[in-house]
Structure 1
Amino acid sequence: MNLDFNLNLTQQQKLVMTQQMQLSVKLLQMSNYELLDYVNKEIEENPVIDAEASGVLKEDNNEIDYNKLSKYLEDDNYSSKEISRNNEDVSPFNFISEQKSLKDFLKEQIIDLFENDYIRSICFYIIESINNLGYLSESIENLSNSLKVDSKYISEALKVIQSLDPTGIGARDLKECLMIQARKKGILDNKLKEIIDRYLEDIADNKYNKIAKDMNITIHEAQIYGDIIKSFEPKPSRGFYTGDETEYIIPDAYIKQVKEDLYILMNDNFIPKISINNIYKNILNNSQDEDAKKYVKEKINGATFLIKSIDMRRNTIYRVIEQIVDIQRNYFLDKHSYLKPMTLKDISERINMHESTISRAIRDKYINTDRGIMKIKDLFTTSISNNKNEDISTIKVKKYIRDIIDKEDKSKPISDQQISDILKNEGMKISRRTIAKYRDEMEIKSSSKRKRF
């Protein structure tokens, strides 16, 4: 064994991120909801931080005509005081409607029914076993064992629950859910029952030839049954709060149009206004206790950098949105206009910032516009060149594809290759595979599954 101990000098290039740099990156890519949670935790853990609630909106553009903007906001049922950071009365959470709990809704119906207390209490227990899709996740046998009651009472209570709204609630699987809905509509004949029981996958694949042959009915009749089944709700809990929803969306900015001008109103009302408590500043300046001074200095440094990081995050997001609004000006001004092709590189070059920073700045960020609340990321779209050397956004191409499919003869649906040929004649060279990809993204079925008999 040859053990050779040598001292070698090598040169390596490394990027070392300090804790402060890591915090800046972390804060930049947080959503507003995550940032609020993070800041509140810092306020709780860092004693040197003083915090007070902020107002709703703050404007960054120094060239704004405030008189014109205030008048517009008043006309649009906004109060001009919403632009102030010092107003504590308005919160973005005021715009969030109260969600109705599915389980509470079911219990309210049970209370209104003329059922005895015994069955009612079993119903309440069963309701707690209904999952987020609206299905009963426990078997009658398990419920019977858990409650130590005869299974006939469980079945009776379940029958009551399955009679409630929304229709299909309390089903144990998809087939039972569909059966309940058909029964409530009074259309559950033997043929529909058999199709639900045996041919759901064939309906999804548009294989009505197979269903018609097996059941000795016409293809048209089979498709009518398929249409009925497709009209049912496979997720009875839809529209109710089940505890499984995503976090609240707090827009990072409002894009407001005043005549032909667009204004960016940064929405940072939800972040408490942070400052450093003067008592701790005095400790740092006057205390003789070195340990206390060291502790306070550490906490003040942390608070100071948090304040700077939040401000840096806000300025970065503003600069990115500012460039997006400039590029997509027509899109925001005209509801019939399409997005222009726009990439991270386009924004990066405009503000001299790395693409990865732009990516973090738009991650889980939203803007509130006259077109509604939209994810900033969705405003970025690639381009396709036509024979006129014009760049067309993929969104516009998808619109062409959808229009072609909407106008097709449903008895002879157009294939992806035919769509590709049509677009080629319009000057857009797009492959069949790309057409299929865009169609899937728009949740449009293939031609074989779109066919009407």
Structure 2
Amino acid sequence: MALGPRLDLRQSQSLVMTPQLQQAIRLLALSNLEIETFIAEELERNPLLESGGQEVRDRVEAPVRDEYEEVPEPDSIDHLGAGDGAGALDIDVSNENLHQDSAADAMGGTDGGLGLTGTSLGGSVDAPDFDSFASDEASLHDHLLSQAGAALSGADLMIAAAIIEQIDETGYLTVSLLDIADRLGVPKAEVERVLAAVQTFDPAGVAARSLSECLALQAKDADRYDPAMARLIDNLNYLAKGNLSALKRICGVDDEDLTDMIRELRAYDPKPGCRFEGGSRVEAVVPDVLVSRRGAGWSVELNGATLPRLLVNRTYYAELSGGAQDKKSKAWLSECLASANWLMKALDQRARTITRVATEIVKQQENFFLRGVAHLRPLTLRTIAEAVGMHESTISRVTSNKYLSCERGLFELKYFFTSGIQSADGGDAVSAEAVKSHIKTLIAGEGGKILSDDQLVDLLKARGFDIARRTVAKYREALGIGSSVQRRRQRALEGER
């Protein structure tokens, strides 16, 4: 075989991730109020951008009917307007091996938009999002997301972000793993595996689902989770009652060992997330999407009150470019114009994407808007994604940190995605939120006859809900309603007053 230099032509797959594309992904997840702050920063940085001085009032009406009415695209996008969803921003992060030709093709297509529909990006796309909202003092979520970005990747990173999103300010996981699995469309076993990884993050005890689990995680972190400590944590009710003799017998230890174990247990933090409270920002909830009844359908529009008008001052650009300038100044001016034009397109595509997704949510949950929470149907991110032709990760970003206002109240977009409960008569499944509504109604009308969880199961089955007793107890506790014993005791106390 001859040895010598030669030229070979090879084809390979690669990912082009420009700063503009990273910014487009971040913009999609921002709420309207966060977009307002972002625009204010851009106005300070770019002299060619200026505020129009009035709020955007472009209405997009999307009747929920079989005949879907398309709204024509506006002739100009020199303002923040909500369109019909054409050219909506869709980011697919499920496939790490799909090729993207170039950043120029992605950002400057002939359609005048971002041209990202159907484009597949690598799983590492999510990484820049984790630090995008970091304040001077990081919140609990920021702290956990930064650890997730360093320890996980791909699908595991997506699942970890969904888990972290459901962790409350005290550090506890507030929803069931089955709900998370249903929303993401992944097996529950995968969520359990990623949860185990999240539970190793700092602070120790985070992402626990109960006090016992929180203390057990901290004991494991301190390398003190031996069989005796495990039994002590599993029997905290005896400790609360002061029944130390029973604890010694259960744990198999003497007085000295039990005292040491209790001392160590009391040194653990039952609310590990509270130390990060100072880093969280308290803001008034302002709706991002407004929904109202319009004839036989619905009007879905972005809240213009939180979207200032943004313009590109082309006259100012012409004046500056016409004067004598050096090469460096001209390059800077051209960069400012390109950045301003791209931002206008990105904001317009964001508005179109949000409106399109919100319209489909209204269409899927029309019975809720017409008749109330008892008629909320099971819904997953995958269902919406397939209906609008986008990827699930795009739907997840669109519905994060955004609220919808309608005549029934103010709801987070995530509220409309719930798991299903099979109907007792074999009919369509019903939403878990609808079942909670029925439980709340039954308990509110129990009067002097307190209903046990077993009785609630029977009453719910009579209404067509095939649900287990433990599920009834879980939903009741989630509603903040005590057990039948607690309610009976409370009723007796009220009668004595």
- The question of 1:270 aligning with 2:306 is answered yes
Tell me how far apart the structure 2 counterparts of residues 265 and 47 of structure 1 sit (CA, whole Å): 30
Report the residue type matching 1:389 in the other structure.
Answer: G
Tell me how far apart the structure 2 counterparts of residues 367 and 52 of structure 1 sit (CA, whole Å): 26
What aligned pairs does 1:21-420 form with structure 2 within 5 A after superposition?
A: 21-61=21-61, 246-277=282-313, 278-281=315-318, 283-284=320-321, 289-335=326-372, 338-386=375-423, 387-408=425-446, 413-415=451-453, 417-420=454-457
Partner residue in 2 for 1:100:
none
| Structure 1 spans left out of the alignment, 5+ residues | 1-9, 65-83, 87-201, 208-243
User: Per-residue CA shift, 1:173-213, capped at 9, x if unaligned?
Assistant: xxxxxxxxxxxxxxxxxxxxxxxxxxxxx9xx9x9xxxxxx
CA contact (8 A) 1:264 1:322 kept: yes
Report the residue type matching 2:52 in the other structure.
Answer: E
CA contact (8 A) 2:49 2:312 kept: yes
CA distance 1:412–1:266, change in 2 (3 Å): closer
Identity of aligned residues (%): 34
| Structure 2 spans left out of the alignment, 5+ residues | 1-9, 65-78, 82-236, 242-279, 493-497
User: Per-residue CA shift, 1:387-423, capped at 9, x if unaligned?
Assistant: 32321111221122223333447675513x4433543
Report the residue type matching 2:443 in the other structure.
Answer: I
Tell me how far apart the structure 2 counterparts of residues 320 and 431 of structure 1 sit (CA, whole Å): 34
Deviation at 1:29, TM superposition (A): 0.7
Deviation at 1:324, TM superposition (A): 1.2
Report the residue type matching 1:261 in the other structure.
Answer: G
Deviation at 1:289, TM superposition (A): 1.8
User: Per-residue CA shift, 1:261-319, capped at 9, x if unaligned?
Assistant: 31123223433322322332454577552101111122222212211111111000000
Whichever of the two has the greater Rg, that structure is 1
Tell me how far apart the structure 2 counterparts of residues 351 and 442 of structure 1 sit (CA, whole Å): 33
User: Per-residue CA shift, 1:63-101, capped at 9, x if unaligned?
Assistant: 99xxxxxxxxxxxxxxxxxxx999xxxxxxxxxxxxxxx
Q: Secondary structure at the residue paired with 2:421?
A: strand
CA contact (8 A) 1:382 1:393 kept: yes
Tell me how far apart the structure 1 counterparts of residues 80 and 337 of structure 2 sit (CA, whole Å): 24
Partner residue in 2 for 1:105:
none
- What's the TM-score, normalizing by structure 1? 0.53
Q: Secondary structure at the residue paired with 2:292?
A: strand
Task: Please report the RMSD computed on the Cα atoms of aligned residues, expressed in angstroms.
Answer: 3.8
Report the residue type matching 1:251 in the other structure.
Answer: P
CA distance 1:383–1:281, change in 2 (3 Å): farther
Report the residue type matching 1:403 in the other structure.
Answer: T
CA contact (8 A) 2:374 2:437 kept: no
User: Per-residue CA shift, 1:245-274, capped at 9, x if unaligned?
Assistant: 831333222212134331123223433322
Aligned length: 275
Once the two structures are overlaid, the 10-residue window that deviates more, 308-317 or 45-54, is 45-54
Report the residue type matching 2:428 in the other structure.
Answer: E
Q: Secondary structure at the residue paired with 2:306?
A: coil
Deviation at 1:380, TM superposition (A): 2.0
- What's the TM-score, normalizing by structure 2? 0.49
Q: Secondary structure at the residue paired with 1:25?
A: helix
Q: Secondary structure at the residue paired with 1:428?
A: coil
- The question of 1:17 aligning with 2:53 is answered no
Report the residue type matching 2:482 in the other structure.
Answer: K
Report the residue type matching 2:399 in the other structure.
Answer: I
CA distance 1:414–1:16, change in 2 (3 Å): farther
CA contact (8 A) 2:418 2:433 kept: yes
User: Per-residue CA shift, 1:305-362, capped at 9, x if unaligned?
Assistant: 2111111110000000111121122322345862222221111001111111111111
Deviation at 1:16, TM superposition (A): 4.7
CA distance 1:63–1:286, change in 2 (3 Å): farther
